[in-house]
Amino acid sequence: MDSLAYVRDAPESEDAPPMMSSGVLAWARVNLFSSIGSSLVTIGCITLVAYWLPQLIAWATTRAIWSATDGALCRQHQDGACWAFIAAKWDYLRFGSYPVAERWRVDLVEAVGALLIAWLLWTNAPRRMWGALLFFIVYPILALVLLRGSSLLGLPVVDTLLWGGIFVSLLTAVVGIVFSLPLGVLLALGRRSPLPVVRTASILFIEFVRGVPFITILFMANNLAPLFLPEAWAPDRLLRPLAGIVIFSAAYMAEEIRGGLQSLGKGQYEGAMALGLNYPLMTALVILPQALTLVIPGIVNNFIGLFMDTTLVSVVGITDFLEAMNNAIKDPVWAGPTIMVTGYVFAGIFYFCFCFGMARYSAHVERILAKGRK
């Protein structure tokens, strides 16, 4: 028989006994200096971090300008951030041009919203059903009345032209989630329906929306909605992009929820039918509660994407947070070489904190769910 190249004919030489097996040095040996290449990488990384990180921290803290009344001081100190600019523009960044005397209404809506969201997201909270009911039905009406105003209640009407800043970013994201979740549930159920027309309609809608960029949906909502509706119904300029966001987000939500529906065992459906439940009762009492719980992480991740996508509404003339920042940067009183960097870095930190927090939450829920399923 020929000698086979892949058959070993001499034993491998013995390894030396391990030098260290515990302690900080052993950890470093295994995790940082396991080979020559790894050591070089470690040294390179340390050099890079040691060079950049102190500069970055100094730029953001010690060398930064923390208080000033205009841009003069920031123009003198160009090697640090100009946080004074953010402080001066903070109210504008939060509320846009919303009338100062009425801003308590925005604060109230934000506080109530935060409270309800916390109730919904706290996995062991009592009576979450009530929280969901309040958040998805009562809260939108309350928010609309408070933000828009109502002459009946003696609240002056504030035109949406004046709305802006962080509050509009949050509003668009929350409206997106509140309306797209029920719509997404319907679409997901429709996509799994045995009725061919319902299924085809759902698939066409979902795949159409997922196949085009968000910007084109916004353009469509902005340019085509007024054409497709009677002249008298001309929708509000903020309502149009909001409708676009709901449509866009519903398609992605539907796919997320479909994943949850698919992961339920057949036995759940059969058990519910054996109990004599009809389709609406089976869906509402047995299927959806389980499927929706399973996809909470997915829904939260969707919400993160939605929140980042809300930055695009400025393309149809809505002043969201990023657009408010762009406007603030152009203020000649503050004009200076550090203003733009400061503004964008602050916006980045804002979005990062928000989204990263949500992502951590979603990972946490995922762990809890995984525990229950083992």
Partner 1 sequence: MDLASAKPSSWLSDQRARGLIYQILLIGCIAALACGAIYNAVVNMRARGIPMGFGFWNDVAGFDINLHLISYSNQSTYGRAFWVGLLNTLLVAAISIPLATLLGFVIGVARLSPNWLLSRLALVYTSIMRNTPLLLLLLFWYNVVLKSLPGPRQSISIGGAAFLNDRGLYLPLPVAREPASLFAGAVLAAIVLAFGFRAWARRRQDRTGAQAPTAVVAAALVLGLPALVTAAVGAPFTFDIARLSGFNFQGGLQIIPEMAALVFGLVTFTAAFIAEIVRAGVLAVPVGQSEAAGALGLHRDLSMKLVVIPQAMRLITPPLTSQFLNVVKNSSLAVFIGYPDLVQIFAGTVLNQTQAAVQVMAITMGVYLVISLVVALALNAFNARYALRGR
Q: How far is the CB of 108 from partner 1 (least distance, A)?
A: 27
Closer by beta carbon to partner 1, 149 or else 190? 190
**CA nearest 291: which of 268, 311, 309?**
268
Where on the chain is the footprint of partner 1 (CB under 8 A)?
2, 4-6, 8, 30-32, 34, 38, 41-42, 45-46, 49, 194-198, 201, 207-208, 210-216, 219-220, 223-224, 226-231, 304, 308-309, 311-312, 314-315, 322, 326, 337, 340-341, 344, 347-348, 351-352, 355-356, 359
Nearer to partner 1, 224 or 284 (CB): 224
Residues in CB range of 123: below 8 A, 6 or more apart: 365, 368
Q: How far is the CB of 27 from partner 1 (least distance, A)?
A: 8
CB 355 within 8 A of CB 307: yes
Residue in the structure block whose two tokens are 């892949």: 6
Using DSSP, state whether 165 is helix, strand or coil: strand
> Which H/E stretch holds residue 115?
helix 103-121
Of 60 and 108, CB closest to partner 1: 60
Q: Quote the DSSP letter at residue 2.
A: P
What is the token pair recorded at 147? Answer: 């933000």
Least Å distance, CB 171 to partner 1, is 16
What count of other Cβ atoms lies within 10 Å of the Cβ of residue 86? 20
| Residue with smaller CB distance to partner 1, 256 or 309 | 309
CB of 342 to partner 1, least distance (A): 10
Output the smallest distance, CB 45 to partner 1, in A: 5
Euclidean distance between CA atoms 356 and 354, whole angstroms:
6
CB of 297 to partner 1, least distance (A): 14
Residue number, 104 or 352, with CB nearest to partner 1: 352
Locate 293 and state its tokens.
């719980």
Query: CA-to-CA distance for 77 and 104, rounded, in angstroms?
Result: 36
Of 179, 173, 174, 157, residue with least CA distance to 112: 174
